[in-house]
């Protein structure tokens, strides 16, 4: 139950405290007096965005605080405890708004986010605005309203999850089918290319190897004569012979400085070793320079063929062998992907089977709930002066989707002899308001610990019909607290608490005040609602009649 709301330095209010009755609370006032402002302030405290015309003082932050009394059975207590917030018989929600537009929220003096406030609010209050009749005008919302009435949330969530899984499997299958189509389209080219490569018999790194051999052969052709001369000068007739002869001659020297002779001989021995190494390398170089003219020609032809094949497949010559391997892989890939598609299709069919089973269960559950909803709403219509009206929930097979495969629509007939049809085409504005109230009553019967706020639910009606709506709100307040913003004197006369909202303008200063009306002030207010600009004695007498005075 909403115990009270307090405003500090918000828009036209410096300080305001309201305490509500546990039954039917009425808020009335002239058009533009600030009734919607009170509702906006409540919405702001519950986590919704502040309206653009919701400024605070330039010097300090504004603040809205609301207090709810909750029973031990209200699930909000468990909800808060599990998330680390203290909870008891009261829940205090406070939200501040700085001059810069930044808001800070608290639950029982612990910081929280505005999104968390919205979650908490679902356990505490339902606010039904002036434009909620759009729910009846919009066919797509009928399914949501039926699911809420039937408490289908768990089953709807399961169907949604299965649908998402089925759609994912379908997407994977489609992507793989597209890939297989591309692979199949390329198979003729791949098969032809593989025959070409196998006949060509390309070796790994062949292009690099041939390039290296070709470079060596060209080097040999240019430098053969010089290498031969080097070989002759180093070999047995050149430096090697001279080094050996020098060593032998030193061996014949007698006397003198033996150390010097030994050093010279050691040096010559080292020279001989180095010269012999050079001779072996030159001999190896000479052997590699034995060029077969036909070999060079064949090598050139092979390199030309490799480069031509690379150009044909738009790759570099050194990448040709890898490209061949990729063609081999693609040739085998088609069969692999086709087998993978069979597995994916099997998984997709399984997902669809599970979705279809749950969707059919949801359909059956919705049909049972629809029968209950039709019966309950039909019972609510006569007291709302819709005794000749008929309400029925139509459930037909529709397009499969995340919420099942049901096409759900509310149908109505408001007069005898008028065929039943879509409620948005049959009912007038005032009738829609009463149908909506009946629906809200049925939905709210499941939430007896939740406060209900109705913003001009009586819009478009008057007289006995407005009186019927007021009585329905009063009956509803017997089980759940109701706060009603109204222009109807019939509705206002049935409240247990009646607040009057007024706007006061003095020069450039505007202020809003809210007064809990006593007996005489309440008579005056209802008389104002009954009369024109001037409150007459007749209007006061009529107000007393409405109030049963």
Q: What secondary structure letter does DSSP report for 56?
A: B
Cβ 389 vs Cβ 438: under 8 Å:
no
pLDDT of residue 39: 86
Whole-angstrom distance, CA of residue 352 vs CA of residue 345:
10
Q: How many CB atoms lie within 10 A of CB 233?
A: 12
pLDDT of residue 135: 61
Q: Please, is 181 exposed, middle or buried when counting C-beta atoms within 10 Å of its C-beta (0-12, 13-18, 19+)?
A: exposed
Cβ 352 vs Cβ 166: under 8 Å:
yes
Could you say which residues of the chain have pLDDT below 50? none
Place of tokens 């003096």: 109
Q: Please, is 48 exposed, middle or buried when counting C-beta atoms within 10 Å of its C-beta (0-12, 13-18, 19+)?
A: middle
Q: Reply yes or no on domain 1-130+456-516 having CATH 3.40.50.300.
A: yes
Q: What tens digit of pLDDT does each residue of 200-226 get? A: 888 888 888 888 877 777 776 666 666
Residues of the chain within CATH 3.40.50.300 domain(s) are 1-130+456-516
CA–CA distance from 175 to each of 65, 179, 339 (Å)? 54, 6, 14
Nearest 5°: the CA angle 542, 543, 548 is: 95
If DSSP states are collapsed to H, E and C, what string results for 235-304?
CCCCHHHHHHHHHHHHHCCCCCCHHHHHHHHHHHHHHHHHHHHHHHHHHHHHHHCCCCHHHHHHHHHHHH
Q: What residues have CB less than 8 Å from 307, skipping those under 6 apart?
A: 207, 317
pLDDT of residue 159: 96
CA dihedral 32, 33, 38, 41 (to 10 degrees): 60
DSSP 299-336: HHHHHHHHHHHHHHTTS-GGGHHHHHHHHHHHHHHHHH
pLDDT of residue 57: 55
CA dihedral 150, 156, 158, 161 (to 10 degrees): -170
Structure tokens at 398: 């529709």
pLDDT of residue 237: 64
Which residues, in sequence order, are bridge partners of residue 398?
A: none
pLDDT of residue 397: 94
Whole-angstrom distance, CA of residue 448 vs CA of residue 425:
32
Helix%, strand%, coil% for the chain, nearest 5: 55, 20, 25
The secondary structure element, H or E, covering residue 112 is strand 110-112
Q: Where are the alpha helices (DSSP H) in 51-151?
A: 76-82, 114-124, 134-137, 139-150
If DSSP states are collapsed to H, E and C, what string results for 193-232?
HHHHHHHHCCCCCHHHHHHHHHHHHHHHHHHHHHHHHHHH
pLDDT of residue 326: 85
Whole-angstrom distance, CA of residue 145 vs CA of residue 410:
10
E strand residue ranges, 374-431? 390-401, 404-413, 421-422
Q: Strand 404-413 to strand 421-422: parallel, antiparallel, or no bridges (unpaired)? A: antiparallel
Cα 177 versus chain centre, distance: 27
> Could you give phi then psi for residue 539, rounded to 5 degrees?
-65, -40
Structure tokens at 330: 């693609």
């Amino acid at each position: 139950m909403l115990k009270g709301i307090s405003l500090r330095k918000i828009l036209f209010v410096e300080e305001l405290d309201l305490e509500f009755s546990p039954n039917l609370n009425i808020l009335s006032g002239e058009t533009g007096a600030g009734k919607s402002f009170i509702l906006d302030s409540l919405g702001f405290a519950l986590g919704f965005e502040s309206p653009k015309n919701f400024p605070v003082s330039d010097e300090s932050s504004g603040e809205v605080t609301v207090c709810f009394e909750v029973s031990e059975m209200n699930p909000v207590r468990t909800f808060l405890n599990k998330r680390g917030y203290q909870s008891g018989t009261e829940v205090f929600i406070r939200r501040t708004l700085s001059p810069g537009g930044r808001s800070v929220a608290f639950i029982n003096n612990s910081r929280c986010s505005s999104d968390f406030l919205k979650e908490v609010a679902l356990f505490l209050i339902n606010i039904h605005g002036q434009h909620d009749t759009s729910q009846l005008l919009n066919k797509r919302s009928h399914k949501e309203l039926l699911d809420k009435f039937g408490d289908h949330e768990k089953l709807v969530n399961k169907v949604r999850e299965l649908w998402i899984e089925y759609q994912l499997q379908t997407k994977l299958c489609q992507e793989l089918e597209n890939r297989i189509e591309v692979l199949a389209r390329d198979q003729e080219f791949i098969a032809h290319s593989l025959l070409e490569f196998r006949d060509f018999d390309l070796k790994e790194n062949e292009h690099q190897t041939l390039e290296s051999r070709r470079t060596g052969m060209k080097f040999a052709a240019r430098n053969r004569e010089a290498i031969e001369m080097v070989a002759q000068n180093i070999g047995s007739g050149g430096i090697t012979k001279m080094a050996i002869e020098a060593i032998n001659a030193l061996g014949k020297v007698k006397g003198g400085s033996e150390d010097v002779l030994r050093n010279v001989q050691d040096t010559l021995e080292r020279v001989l070793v180095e010269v012999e190494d050079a001779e072996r390398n030159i001999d190896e170089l000479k052997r590699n320079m034995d060029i077969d003219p036909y070999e060079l020609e064949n090598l050139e032809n092979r390199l030309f063929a490799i480069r031509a094949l690379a150009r044909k497949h738009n790759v570099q010559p050194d990448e040709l062998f890898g490209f061949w391997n990729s063609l081999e892989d693609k040739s085998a890939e088609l069969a692999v992907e086709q087998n993978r598609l069979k597995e994916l299709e099997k998984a997709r069919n399984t997902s669809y089977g599970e979705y279809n089973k749950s969707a059919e269960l949801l359909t059956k559950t919705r049909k049972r709930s629809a029968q209950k909803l039709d019966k309950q709403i039909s019972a609510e219509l006569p007291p709302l002066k819709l005794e000749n009206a008929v309400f029925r929930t139509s459930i037909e097979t529709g397009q499969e989707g995340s919420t099942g495969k049901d096409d759900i629509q509310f149908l109505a007939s408001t007069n005898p002899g008028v065929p039943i049809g879509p409620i948005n085409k049959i009912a007038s504005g005032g009738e829609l308001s009463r149908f909506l109230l009946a629906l809200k009553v049925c939905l709210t019967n499941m939430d007896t610990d939740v406060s209900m706020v109705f913003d001009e639910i009586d819009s478009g009606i008057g007289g006995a019909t407005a009186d019927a709506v007021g009585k329905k709100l009063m009956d509803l307040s017997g089980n759940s607290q109701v706060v009603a913003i109204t222009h109807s004197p019939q509705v206002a006369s049935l409240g247990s608490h009646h607040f009057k909202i007024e706007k006061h303008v003095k020069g450039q200063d505007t202020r809003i005040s809210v007064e809990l009306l006593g007996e005489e002030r309440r008579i005056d207010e209802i008389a104002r609602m009954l009369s024109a600009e001037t409150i007459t004695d007749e209007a006061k007498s009529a107000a007393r009649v409405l109030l049963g005075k």
